[in-house]
Structure 1
Amino acid sequence: MSNKRKVIVTGFEPFGEHAVNSSWVAVQELEQLGLGEAVELYVREVPVDYQAVERLLPSLWKELQPQLVVHVGVSGLATTVTLEQCGHNRGYKRLDNCSFCPASQCCMENGSDCIDSVLDMELVCRRVNDSDIGVTVSVSKDAGRYLCDYTYYTSLYLGRGHSAFVHVPPLGKPYSSRDLGRALQAVVQEMLSLLELDCTEEERKTQ
């Protein structure tokens, strides 16, 4: 049996003005770079489609039982690689690629308004910025009430907070695909090291 930690990283398909979605390009770069010998990395492209997300995420969590799922999306407003601390349940009014949006305008009918990641994004951000990889990382608490936020909230709900969301700028504004891949690699590795610390703390408490 493999003792490798399983990590899923997803990017989105093209939508709107994003004929090339830098999130999926960055995830493919990360797949080339890998996350080291101890990690089994799975990557998936996610449709910009509320109903597809509803079907896809439960199957990913159930089948692979990952330690961490990191979703990556593009933001036309972003100029840094942005770590999202939380996902929101309500306010989904914008139509997806199939001209659909949920009638309830929310992810989970009885879910709380907001779910935080178990990861301290400020700490991840500081560590990556201190490592001086040539890409600036920042933190946000508003993933935008579209498919990014919807996917994040759903994943946080299914994974009991063991999920993360990273917004990346469009390609060349200012970073190349290689830059974004390296930034994702650094971010996910820091997230994994924090989860490892938390596990060690929990083990200590139960001994």
Structure 2
Amino acid sequence: MKILITGFDAFGGEAVNPSWLSVSRICQEAGDELTLIGACLPTEFSGSLTMLQQLVESHRPDLVIAVGQAGGRSSISLERVAINIDDARIPDNAGWQPIDEPIHPAGEAAYFSSLPIKAIVQALRTAGIPAEVSNTAGTYVCNHVFYGLMHLCRHLPGMRAGFVHIPYLPEQAAKQPGAPSMALDDMVRALAIILRISLDSGTDLRLNAGTEC
């Protein structure tokens, strides 16, 4: 089983991005039973998908898990849906700030994750890690990558994929009073569980995880 797992470089004035720190750690700590390929995507609308497509074409993974930072969230967020729109609050690391632009002009309006997101959330909570199903991946580079990844899946039958958002690290949250955070060790532990459940669960659980607004 070949697995591609990606994070992002730092953006928005931050010195680090916990998505890449946690991905690089899980790749270092993975056992020999998994072929785990880690990559750091640029936080750029254009460059991120170009690199992701090259990685997928080169490695032909069975499973792809993209990880990004969602500062302000308190839980590991399993993203349910990617939407076909870029609407950037801030410029990306290349200085590009698309507003109300489709990711793929002829693409579907949205794509759903093919990960067992509710089974993962249950496993994370059982392990004492705050987790949730999220119904929005935003409209910045994370959603851009998530949408592009699921669009790639259309042409690669058998490849499963999805997106995970993680909170700030404590040292990041310390600069923004009141912001929630999570220790890097817990993020790495969460990624290990996400990998295990994604590999072991062919179907998802039927659990209530909706939101009213």
Do both share a fold (TM > 0.5)? yes
Corresponding residue for residue 146 of structure 2: 152
Q: CA deviation at 1:51?
A: 1.3
Query: Which residue does the alignment assign to 1:166?
Result: 164
Report the AA paired with residue 154 of structure 1. G
Instruction: Name the SS for the 1:163 alignment partner.
Output: strand
Runs of 4+, deviation exceeding 4 Å: none
- Distance (Å, rounded) in 2 between the aligned partners of 1:174 and 1:147: 21
Larger helix proportion of the pair: 1
**Cα shift readout 1:105-158 (whole Å, capped 9, x = no counterpart):** 12111111110012231222112322x2x3211110100110000000000110
- State the alpha-carbon separation in 2 of the partners of residues 194 and 38 from structure 1: 17
RMSD of aligned C-alpha atoms? 1.9
Who is 1:124 aligned against?
Answer: 120
Report how far residue 93 of structure 1 moved: 3.5
Separation of aligned partners in 2, 1:54 and 1:180: 24
Measure the CA separation in 1 of the matches of 2:60 and 2:98: 27
Give the aligned length.
190
Name which of 65, 86, 109 aligns with 2:81: 86
| Matched residue, 1:60 | 55
CA distance in 2, matches of 1:54, 1:80: 26
Q: Does 1:13 align with 2:20?
A: no
SS of equivalent to 1:10: strand
TM-score (norm 2): 0.82
Q: Read off the aligned partner of 2:78 and give its amino acid letter.
A: L
The Cα of 1:104 is off from its aligned counterpart by 6.8
Q: Which whole-Å CA distance do the structure 1 matches of 2:48 and 2:139 have between them?
A: 14
1:70 positional shift = 0.6
Q: Which amino acid aligns with 2:110?
A: C
Correspondence list, 1:1-150, <5 A: 5-34=1-30, 36-94=31-89, 95-102=91-98, 105-130=101-126, 132=127, 134-150=128-144
The residue matched to 1:122 in structure 2 has which SS?
A: helix
Q: Which residue in the other structure is 2:209 paired with?
A: none
Q: Which runs of 5+ in 1 are unaligned?
A: 199-207
Counterpart residue identity of residue 169, structure 2 = L
Q: CA deviation at 1:6?
A: 0.7
Residue number in structure 1 paired with 2:186: 179
1:190 corresponding residue in structure 2: 197
Give yes or no for contact 1:87–1:149 (8 Å, CA) kept in 2: yes
- Identical aligned pairs, as a percentage? 29
Contact 1:12 1:47 in 2 (8 A): yes
Deviation at 1:102, TM superposition (A): 4.6
TM value normalised by structure 1: 0.85
**Which structure 2 segments of 5+ residues have no match?**
171-179, 205-213
User: Aligned partners of 2:72, 2:190: CA distance in 1, in Å?
Assistant: 18
